[in-house]
Amino acid sequence: MTTLAPTLSTRYFPNSSSRVRDTLLVIAGSLLVAALAQIEIPLPFTPVPITGQTLGVLLIGAALGSKRGAAALILYLVEGGIGLPFFAGGARGLGILTGATAGYLVGFIAAAYVIGLLAERGLERNVRTSIIPFLVGTFIIYLFGVAWLGVVLKSFSQAIALGLVPFIIGDAIKLILASLALPAAWKLVK
């Protein structure tokens, strides 16, 4: 049986009641992603905007772990789905959860879970290995997002051109930021 390493959140809040701590961390995670979603750069040639959401997903998955990270993203989708202006640029409602970007949003949950699993094995703690969970998470977001966009656009090649290619450089920057931020946070906690 593999012993899992504590995540940054459990290391930082070691004496809190686990139920209260977990609830507050999940809420805080959903709010962080909502705040980063307000950083939006619409692109006129694609229905997918550039946002800060993916950086939030990477950080939340690594900091909260698999279950709390996924729960934070589920809560985020529920919050936006019920009408809070939490999606990109203040968008809200169930229409977003069935629109062109729905695959990315669902992919956030899977990505946070897998990033969390990798973080629970200690991969986000140093700069040499921290890129691995974030690269895997970004791939998962693209997998879900581009697949759904291909259904919406009725063209997989168009989905790649409009939902993947324009975002590679920005997401590479987010990967680097996350892979530097988490090891630095661990040094502060220690």
174-188: per-residue pLDDT in tens?
999 988 888 777 766
Q: Which pTM was predicted?
A: 0.90
Q: Assess contact for 130 and 181: CB atoms under 8 A.
A: no
CA distance 68 to 64: 5
Comparing 3-17, 29-43, 54-68, 123-137, the range with the smallest average pLDDT is 3-17
What is the domain partition of the chain in residue ranges? Answer: 8-189
Task: Express each pLDDT in 114-147 by its tens digit.
Answer: 999 999 998 877 878 889 999 999 999 999 999 9
Q: Assess contact for 108 and 60: CB atoms under 8 A.
A: no
Mean pLDDT (whole number) for 92-101: 96
Q: What percent of the chain has pLDDT over 90?
A: 75
Cβ contacts of residue 99 below 8 Å, gap of 6+? 47, 152
CA distances to 13, 113, 176, 188 from 170, rounded to whole Å, are 32, 22, 10, 27
Half-sphere exposure of 25 (CA within 13 A, CB side): 28
Q: Please give the CATH number for the structural domain made up of 8-189.
A: 1.10.1760.20
